[in-house]
Amino acid sequence: MKTKRLFSTIFLFASLCYLDIIIAQTVTIDGSVKLNGHTIFDNIKVLFEMTAPSTSVYTVFSNSDGTFTVEIKTGIYKVTYSKNGYFPIVIIDQAYYSNATLSEQSLKPKGTCFFVPTDVSTIQSAIDYANTNDTIIVEPGIYYENINFHG
């Protein structure tokens, strides 16, 4: 009986170690981000927030040519590109289980005219990001969302 219990304990421990190795794998993610109207793209923040299977946060800043590289644990992420004075880009439910090169993103400066859904995916996002004197143009289509004008 003790041998069977010892074998079960060893098997459980080995299984947990194997599972931890699979979950704790890292991948290399690279990509590029630009600023509309500029030729130097340094210090753009790229934030990777793991949403599953656990939670972790990784931050990287772009080089002057807009490129970045980061090592992260495998999982599902929300990715946010941001820089002061520009509208952020948020991409959710991104699965990273192998090395990847992300598609290029381009941040649009605040204080200009921008379009829903071309520049910002939802009307509410446009309202949330808008500052005084910003113009929001909603392109034709059907939008299913609850709007809060913060007023």
Pairwise pLDDT comparison (130 vs 75), residue with the higher score: 75
How high is the pLDDT of residue 47?
A: 98
Pairwise pLDDT comparison (24 vs 45), residue with the higher score: 45
State whether 60 and 81 are in the same domain. Answer: yes
- 131 has a pLDDT exceeding 80: no
Number of domains in the chain: 2
Asked whether residue 50 is domain-assigned, the answer is: yes
Angstrom distances, CA of residue 132 to CA of 84, 111, 135, 149: 15, 7, 9, 13
Reported pTM: 0.64
Which one of 11-15, 84-88, 139-143 scores highest in mean pLDDT? Answer: 139-143
For 2, phi and psi rounded to 5 degrees?
-65, -35
What is the C-alpha separation between 115 and 125, in angstroms, rounded? Answer: 11
Write the CATH number for 81. 2.60.40.10
State whether 105 and 116 are in the same domain. Answer: no
Residues 6+ apart with CB under 8 A from 118: 139
Rg of the chain over Cα atoms, rounded to whole angstroms, equals 21
State whether 72 and 142 are in the same domain. Answer: no
State whether 104 and 116 are in the same domain. Answer: no
Instruction: Give residue-wise pLDDT tens across range 96-115.
Output: 999 999 999 999 887 778 78
Instruction: Give residue-wise pLDDT tens across range 39-72.
Output: 899 999 999 999 999 999 999 999 999 999 999 9
Domain range holding 141?
110-151
